[in-house]
Each structure stands twice: as C-alpha cells, then as structure tokens.
C-alpha cells in the first residue's frame, strides 16, 4: 500500500525531482509550500509529467496525515519551517532531512558550509522536532539536474540516523530512484561529514562545467 510522503519545499528543484521520481515509483506524494497555490501549480505540472496524481498543499496541511515528511529547504529556513510543523509531526513519523548548511544561504559561496552549533543541519533538526519523531539524514548529494526525467541517477546516498528503522525506510526510498544505492552512514552525528560533501560536489561542478557530479563509494559489497 502506498505511503503518503509530504515533501516540504517541494516546489524547489530538489523537492520537485524527488516528488516525480517517487510518484513514478508508486508512492502517494503531497507537495508542500509556504503558498498553497504555488504547491498546487507545481503538483499539477508533476502530475502531467509523470501521469500520476500528485497533490499540492500549504506546508502544515501537507505534513498532516503523512507517514513520511521530507525536508528539502535551504538551511536559513530549516528551523522556522520545522517549528511551524510541530503540530503535524507526531511520534513515530519519519522525517528525512536533506538540508545542507551552504554559505550561499546567507550570501556566501555555495562551495563553503556554515558552522552549525549542534554539529550539522540534521542534528539541529533533531533538536527542533517533537520527541518520538524519527529522523534520518539523507539525499544530500543527489543532483537536482539528474533527478529530472526518468534516466538512472548514478549516485550513492549515505543515510545517517540513530534509529535503525528510520535508516532502513530512508534507504528503501532512496533506492526507489533508479541507479541510486543507499549506504549505511552510521549515527546521525556523521551527517556533518555528508553535508560537507555537497559543497565539494558543487565545487567540482564549477571546475568541470557540469551539473551532474555525484558520489560513488568503491570497494563495498553490492
């Protein structure tokens, strides 16, 4: 039976790409945005593109009733959005945080990350969500450009969590995207390393004049 996945920030390139991929994979997708009208417009576009019905709602309404909430917003908005979602985030729900604290969010370079007091954006999220909400950090290094269309995305996704069930569910969702392999990144505190890799990939994209840089870890069993 399909789960309801609310993608908060789903009108942006990353959220939109994930929504289309998971809709094709049979999940029930609800796009969340600060503006319900904008969410509805993007949801309609994804529905036409994929041939699968996708809904669009205001962020809080999108999160209510979802089994999984995926946060795909710039770092400066992460804390405020999570605070606004507190009434919708219930014990047992899974939050997948994709946030990267890029300096570009405060006018700096996209090739640099900001220092986060808690250690990482994911650990900041863990402090902000209600007790009992399960949290996994994942999907940071998937190229929004490659998520467009339906071609395989040749990239590893490193999933960090302090809860094994959350890690397994996030890994399963990641691998519903053709070409993606999910890897166990250990505890949530390791997300600080994974988040910084995104800045490195952006730097490589600039150096090699592409938008497709991804991550592959070699030497592991398939």
CA-wise closest residue to 19 among 64, 62, 80, 83: 62
Mean of pLDDT over the chain = 94
Give dist(CA 136, CA 78) in Å, integer. Answer: 15
Q: pTM of the prediction?
A: 0.95
Domains and CATH numbers, the chain: 4-208 (3.40.50.720)
Give dist(CA 78, CA 81) in Å, integer. Answer: 5
Of the chain, the end-to-end C-alpha distance in Å amounts to 28
| Rounded mean pLDDT, 66-92 | 96
Tokens of 214: 């991804």
pLDDT over 90 percentage in the chain? 87
CA-wise closest residue to 24 among 40, 42, 2, 8: 2
| Rounded mean pLDDT, 15-43 | 97
Q: How far is CA 11 from CA 147, 176, 177, in A?
A: 14, 20, 19
């Amino acid at each position: 039976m399909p789960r309801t996945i609310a993608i908060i920030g789903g009108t942006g390139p990353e959220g939109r790409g994930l929504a289309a991929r998971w809709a094709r994979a049979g999940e029930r997708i609800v796009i969340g945005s600060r503006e319900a009208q904008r969410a509805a417009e993007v949801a309609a576009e994804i529905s036409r593109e994929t041939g699968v019905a996708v809904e669009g709602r205001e962020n809080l309404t999108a999160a209510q009733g979802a089994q999984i909430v995926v946060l795909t917003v710039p770092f400066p908005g992460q804390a405020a959005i999570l605070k606004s979602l507190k009434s919708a985030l219930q014990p047992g729900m899974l939050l997948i945080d994709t946030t990267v604290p890029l300096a570009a969010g405060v006018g700096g370079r996209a090739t640099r990350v900001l220092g986060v007091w808690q250690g990482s954006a994911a650990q900041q999220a863990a402090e902000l969500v209600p007790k009992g909400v399960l949290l996994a950090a994942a999907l940071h290094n998937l190229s929004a450009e490659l998520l467009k269309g339906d071609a395989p995305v040749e990239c590893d996704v490193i999933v960090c969590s302090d809860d094994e069930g959350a890690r397994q569910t996030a890994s399963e969702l990641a691998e519903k995207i053709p070409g993606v392999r999910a890897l166990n990144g250990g505890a949530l505190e390791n997300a600080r390393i994974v988040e910084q890799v995104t800045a490195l990939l952006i730097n490589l994209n600039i150096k090699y004049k592409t938008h497709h840089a991804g991550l592959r870890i070699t030497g592991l069993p398939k």
